[in-house]
Amino acid sequence: MATKIKNLDTTKPVMTDLKGQTLVCLRTLTEENPASLATYIKLGGYSALKRIVTEKTKATDIITEVKDSVLRGRGGAGFPTGLKWSFMPRYFDGTKYLVCNTDEGEPGTFKDRDIIRYNPHQLIEGMAIAAYTLGAHVGYNYIHGEIWQDYETFEAALHEAKAAGYLGENLFGTNFCFNLYAVHGYGAYICGEETALIESIEGKKGQPRFKPPFPASYGVFGKPTNVNNTESYTSIPWIMQHGGAAFAELGVPNSGGTKLFSVSGHVEKPGNYEVKMGMPFSELLEMVGGVWKGRKLKAVIPGGPSTAVLPAATIMAATMDYDGLSKVRSSLGAGSLIMMDETTCMVKALHRLSYFFYEESCGQCTPCREGTGWVYRIITRIVNGQGKMEDLDLLTDVSNNISGRTICALGEAAATPVLSFIKHFRPEFEYYIQHGKSMVEPQ
């Protein structure tokens, strides 16, 4: 397998060493022009879609295959994809919609970006298979506004797929029709929440809806809608080509397949790494070149800031899969590893994260809107040397009162870093409050 990708803009990141990786979602990376239709077809692309549509494979058989694959939602929640698909009403008089969530805005998460810019056709094929299975004729891929060049790459791939007869009307001479469109966000983390995303597609501010009803019964324009993450859809063509069991076998029990890990922060080679589920963290750390500048690892946020931070010793003993991380009281999330070396001030790191949640709270629920502001202001006063020891309990109290008291999961996401940072690094917070300065930063 090639170790470097050629012909790619070197000003762009992520040209990671492919050695040791298992490429499913990024399988075109071994080729010279990974994003092109020709490359994808050369690797067997669109053959699963063609077979399914022309042989009129039963939807229930496809759903069974997806269930067998043990594919779980890659956006962070880890909900079994096959089960989610079975929630879509089979018969509905009107349009059903398919939505892809490429709105990565949680710090440290940038895996779907590489799918849409390096392997867009596999996502398109995955969505087309899902559309066939669920009886949806229209789909939207909602893409984070800040990665504009990649939005354009994906939209170009859509035109290419349509011209080649993989999207549009009467595909492969059958009566199956599927039109897929690229739409974009424009700077709102909350739109990664599926009902906020749906509101945004409808041209509204992105405030999450009450659930139930769930999107499967009331989604885009009030119609039944299936929403999955980019990496989930992109796994589908491989599953339909090689079988659900083969996908499940790539991983470990309860976590089928491969997973894209976005690695950022204090490592030698940040970027995306697609590996088998269940890889020991220590092996992954080696793969990314280890901690930069020869320093020691201090802490890791394993799945984006909405998952609990872990001290180095804890995560070094963990495996990278759903169960492996829940055993150490964190979670896999979207697989967004934020690595922090020994020089990192945990108080300042939490300060920055608390600002993010304060800034990105949509303002709909009082506990989140007000609570994230309180948390940010309390940590600000600690950072400014005006903290009081009782602030730590106050932070815990405020966070516990946000969590579980909001319409969407942002409240919980905002509380998790506060609670886990204080739990694991309390002495550092106490030192900062007592001395008015950081325990680790040079003064």
Distance CA 192, CA 186 (A): 12
The residue written with tokens 């995306």 in the block is: 272
Q: Rule CB under 8 A: say whether 188 interacts with other proteins.
A: yes
Query: Total residues at the site for other proteins (CB under 8 A)?
Result: 59
186 lies in the site for other proteins, by CB under 8 A: yes
Read out DSSP for 73-97? -TTTT--BHHHHHHTS-S--SS--E
What are the angstrom distances between the C-alpha of 197 and each of 99, 140, 212, 359?
9, 11, 16, 18
Q: Tell me the closest approach of the beta carbon of residue 182 to other proteins, in angstroms.
A: 8
Q: Is 342 in the site for other proteins (CB under 8 A)?
A: no
| Nearer to other proteins (CB atom), residue 332 or residue 339 | 339
386 binds other proteins (CB under 8 A): no
Residue 199 phi, psi dihedral angles, 5° rounding: -55, -45
Please report whether residue 204 would count as binding other proteins according to CB under 8 A. Answer: yes
Q: Which is nearer to other proteins, 142 or 322 (CB)?
A: 142
Question: 253: cis peptide before it, omega within 30°?
Answer: no
Note the maximum CA span of the chain. 74
Of residues 62 and 124, the one with the C-beta less far from other proteins? 124
The CB-side HSE value for 403 (13 A sphere, CA atoms) comes to 16
Displacement of CA 21 from its chain's centroid (Å): 19
189 belongs to the binding site for other proteins (CB under 8 A): yes
268 binds other proteins (CB under 8 A): no
> Which CA distances in Å does 64 have to 70, 81, 133?
10, 11, 11
Which one-letter DSSP state was computed for residue 306? Answer: T
CB of 179 to other proteins, least distance (A): 9
135: three-class secondary structure by DSSP: coil
Please identify which residue in 48, 252, 308, 353 interacts with other proteins, judged by CB under 8 A. 353
The footprint of other proteins on residues 151-170 (CB under 8 A) is none
Nearer to other proteins, 63 or 362 (CB): 362
Among 219, 31, 232, which residue's Cα sits nearest to residue 118? 31
Does 224 contact other proteins by CB under 8 A? no
Instruction: Report d(CA 127, CA 227) in Å as an integer.
Output: 10
Examine residue 113 and tell whether it contacts other proteins (CB under 8 A): yes
Q: Does the N-terminal peptide bond of residue 208 adopt cis geometry, omega within 30 degrees of 0?
A: no
Residue whose CB is less far from other proteins, 226 or 230: 230
- The least distance separating other proteins from the CB of residue 379, rounded to whole angstroms, comes to 13
Judged by CB under 8 A, the residue of 202, 283, 393, 397 near other proteins is 202
Interface positions with other proteins (CB under 8 A): 11-14, 95, 104-110, 112-113, 140, 144-149, 181, 183-189, 200-206, 221, 262-266, 270-272, 301, 305, 336, 338-340, 344, 349, 352-353, 356, 359-360, 362
